[in-house]
């Protein structure tokens, strides 16, 4: 009886959700209201009265691929800064804090100048044999002044007040993420806190304050040290994409410490003004809301943000690869193999074929890699595929399909690499069984649909597809494209893209560091 009740409850839940689709090619029907404010900001709304909550996802059409030399890391650091509050939230005395922040910036500029002069003096002494006294005393004095100013700033800063205001009002899931093409912010609230969301989120766009800038800059630097510099797989992947791309900004896996360490508050403010404009903003709200009331609130709080012309997109086109590229990474980690093939952007017809190829090669225990490399030949601990940068909607520009695999001893990376190519080459000559192809299509559609059953999931997908493709309905177009893929398409795409000249190979060779005996 308990089991029957459980299934009955699940059935009742599914019947109340405004999403329907059962197989590849069937349209996912969503009751979405799209409203574009006068300033160009896009609002996507779905009423879902299953619980007294709502979910908000906001996408800005900007990411690390929009950075240029000198401000690498700006998108990530700006994401951190957006949690620091406004002129009203995060401070007990905005006027005093503002004055001190300006002084702090001036002192840092003086510090950079003094440190540059020190390097120049050292150069002259070393090259010309001079004995010019350095300015270390002046640098120390500036650092002391910075410390004093920051002490006074700390007296008026109310740390984490934005998060505190949100959590006190029942918010959860308050977070953000920086991608290559997009930056997203997410939060959920009880239904009676919709106006609070509108009020504060609009203030974050009208009057953001990038307080604790230099402290947060160090946090971003430390993230790289923890997540990349000390991790073998991350170092391998970083070298893979840096080698695969010679021109496109997708080539930077994680911002460089030297660039982040020299970012200024003024540069971040300029980046914000340039890219966080209404016309580049998509906000999706799903849950226990009234559409008309929500539109009225959005107009009230967001419509007075000035519209602005979009910045010129500097499109760096990656040239065709003209031969296989290989890179060796020596690190104290287990051996690993990465292989990357250049592929199309989300908008190209062949892009969807790669989604199916991914599943054929590495999705589950029935996939080619698992059956033949992990279980059959026992050459691999694992062998997986992914698209980089990826995303539910896909990447704006041509990108990569990546194979990530680790050999199982006594097999080597060379043994595993050869076996991977054998599996990939089969896709070029052996048609995929129709039942296997249909199963993969249905699984892909099912994942899309199930991924939109949760409030967070639906808000995320709507905002992402609208921001990436210019229309949230692209979720249906994508399903139509998947349904149309044939076995012949898979062979054609495999022959065209999975070539020696189009691939980049990165191999991690273990180098064991001796333990310190100090």
Per-residue pLDDT tens digits for 352-394: 999 999 999 999 999 999 999 999 999 999 999 999 998 888 8
Please name the residue that has the structure tokens 């030949």. 377
Whether the Cβ atoms of residue 10 and residue 275 lie closer than 8 Å to each other: no
Which position has the higher pLDDT, 123 or 453? 453
- Among 117-131, 178-192, 262-276, 400-414, the range scoring the smallest mean pLDDT is 117-131
For 53, phi then psi, to 5°, come to -140, 165
User: pLDDT per residue over 209-235, tens digit each?
Assistant: 999 999 999 999 999 999 999 999 999
Q: What is the DSSP letter of 35?
A: E
Q: Which of 477, 445, 448 is nearest to 461 (CA)?
A: 448
Q: Tell me the sheet residues that pair with 407.
A: 380
Q: What is the mean pLDDT of residues 461-468?
A: 96
CATH placement of domain 325-510: 3.30.830.10
User: pLDDT per residue over 13-72, tens digit each?
Assistant: 433 444 555 455 555 678 999 999 999 999 999 999 999 999 999 999 999 999 988 899
Q: Which of 486, 471, 385 is nearest to 433 (CA)?
A: 486
What was the pLDDT predicted at 109? 94
Residue 236 reports pLDDT greater than 70: yes
Rounded distance, CA 218 to CA 257, Å?
A: 9
Q: Tell me, rounded to whole angstroms, the distance of Cα 103 from its chain centroid.
A: 34
Which position has the higher pLDDT, 46 or 128? 46
Fold agreement (53-91+157-302, 325-510): yes
Q: What is the mean pLDDT of residues 285-304?
A: 98
What was the pLDDT predicted at 435? 94
Rounded distance, CA 83 to CA 164, Å?
A: 11
Beta strands in 238-388 (DSSP E): 281-287, 325-331, 336-343, 380-388
Q: Report the CATH fold assignment for 53-91+157-302.
A: Cytochrome Bc1 Complex; Chain A, domain 1 (3.30.830)
What was the pLDDT predicted at 134? 67
What was the pLDDT predicted at 35? 98
What was the pLDDT predicted at 89? 97
- Among 30-39, 250-259, 297-306, the range scoring the smallest mean pLDDT is 250-259
Mean pLDDT, all residues of the chain: 91
Whether the Cβ atoms of residue 327 and residue 506 lie closer than 8 Å to each other: yes
Q: Where are the domains of the chain?
A: 53-91+157-302, 325-510
- Among 12-16, 130-134, 164-168, 190-194, the range scoring the smallest mean pLDDT is 12-16
Q: What is the mean pLDDT of residues 79-84?
A: 97
pLDDT > 70 fraction of the chain, expressed in percent and rounded:
90
Q: What is the mean pLDDT of residues 490-495?
A: 98
Rounded distance, CA 376 to CA 370, Å?
A: 8
What was the pLDDT predicted at 70? 87
Residue 3 reports pLDDT greater than 60: no
129 — pLDDT class (breaks 50, 70, 90): low
The DSSP element (H or E) to which 173 belongs, if any, is strand 172-178
What was the pLDDT predicted at 510? 96
Q: Which of 223, 226, 149, 176 is nearest to 58 (CA)?
A: 176
Whether the Cβ atoms of residue 498 and residue 343 lie closer than 8 Å to each other: no
The answer for 481, left when phi > 0, alpha when psi is -120 to 50, beta otherwise, is alpha
What was the pLDDT predicted at 23? 52
**Sequence-ordered list of residues with C-beta below 8 angstroms from that of 276, at least 6 positions apart, any chain:** 60, 62, 78, 205
Beta strands in 288-433 (DSSP E): 325-331, 336-343, 380-388, 399-407
Rounded distance, CA 307 to CA 280, Å?
A: 10
Please calculate the CA angle 34-36-42 and round it to the nearest 5 degrees: 75
Burial (CB count within 10 angstroms: exposed 0-12, middle 13-18, buried 19+), residue 85: buried
140 — pLDDT class (breaks 50, 70, 90): very high
Q: What is the DSSP letter of 170?
A: T
Rounded distance, CA 105 to CA 212, Å?
A: 11
pLDDT > 90 fraction of the chain, expressed in percent and rounded:
81
397 — pLDDT class (breaks 50, 70, 90): very high
Q: What is the crossing angle of helices 74-81 and 213-224, to 10°?
A: 130
Q: What is the mean pLDDT of residues 467-488?
A: 93
């Amino acid at each position: 009886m308990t089991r029957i009740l459980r299934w009955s409850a699940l059935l009742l839940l599914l019947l109340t959700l405004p999403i329907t689709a059962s197989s590849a090619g069937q349209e996912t029907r969503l009751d979405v209201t799209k409203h574009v404010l006068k300033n160009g900001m896009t609002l996507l709304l779905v009423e879902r009265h299953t619980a007294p909550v709502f979910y908000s996802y906001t996408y800005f059409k900007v990411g690390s691929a929009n950075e240029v030399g000198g401000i690498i890391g700006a998108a990530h650091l700006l994401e951190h800064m957006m949690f620091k509050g406004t002129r009203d939230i995060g401070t007990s005395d905005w006027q005093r804090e503002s004055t001190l922040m300006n002084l702090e910036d001036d002192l840092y500029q003086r510090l950079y100048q003094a440190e540059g002069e020190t390097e120049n003096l050292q150069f002259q002494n070393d090259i010309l044999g001079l004995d010019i006294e350095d300015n270390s005393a002046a640098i120390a004095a500036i650092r002391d002044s910075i410390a004093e100013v920051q002490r006074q700033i700390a007296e008026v800063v109310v740390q984490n007040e934005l998060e505190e205001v949100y959590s006190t009002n029942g918010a959860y899931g308050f977070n953000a993420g920086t991608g290559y093409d997009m930056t997203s912010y997410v939060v959920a609230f009880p239904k009676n806190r919709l106006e609070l969301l509108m009020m504060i989120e609009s203030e974050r766009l009208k009057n953001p304050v990038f307080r604790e800038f230099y402290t947060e800059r160090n946090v971003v630097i430390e993230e790289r040290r923890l997540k990349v510099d000390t991790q073998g797989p991350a170092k391998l992947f970083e070298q893979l994409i840096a080698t695969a791309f010679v021109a496109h900004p997708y080539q930077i896996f994680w911002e460089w410490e030297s660039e982040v360490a020299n970012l200024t508050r003024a540069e971040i403010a300029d980046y914000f003004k340039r890219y966080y404009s209404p016309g580049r903003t998509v906000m999706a709200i799903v849950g226990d809301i009234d559409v008309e009331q929500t539109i009225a609130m959005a107009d009230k709080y967001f419509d007075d943000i000035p519209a602005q012309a979009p910045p010129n997109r500097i499109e760096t086109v990656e040239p065709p690869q003209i031969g296989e590229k290989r890179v060796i990474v020596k690190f104290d980690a287990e051996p690993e193999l990465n292989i990357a093939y250049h592929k199309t952007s989300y908008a190209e017809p062949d892009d969807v074929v790669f989604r199916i190829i991914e599943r054929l090669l590495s999705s589950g225990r029935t996939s080619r890699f698992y059956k033949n490399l992990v279980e059959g030949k026992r050459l691999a601990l694992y062998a997986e595929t992914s698209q980089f940068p990826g995303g539910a909607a896909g990447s704006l520009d041509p990108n990569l399909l990546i194979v990530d695999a680790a050999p199982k001893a006594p097999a080597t990376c060379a043994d595993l690499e050869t076996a991977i190519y054998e599996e990939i080459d089969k896709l070029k000559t052996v048609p995929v069984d129709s039942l296997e192809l249909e199963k993969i299509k249905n699984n892909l559609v099912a994942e899309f649909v199930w991924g939109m059953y949760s409030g967070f999931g639906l808000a995320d997908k709507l905002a992402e597809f609208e921001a990436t493709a210019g229309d949230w309905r692209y979720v249906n177009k994508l399903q139509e494209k998947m349904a149309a893929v044939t076995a012949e398409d898979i062979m054609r795409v495999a022959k065209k893209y999975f070539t020696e000249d189009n691939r980049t190979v990165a191999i991690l060779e273990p180098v064991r560091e001796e333990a310190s005996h100090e």
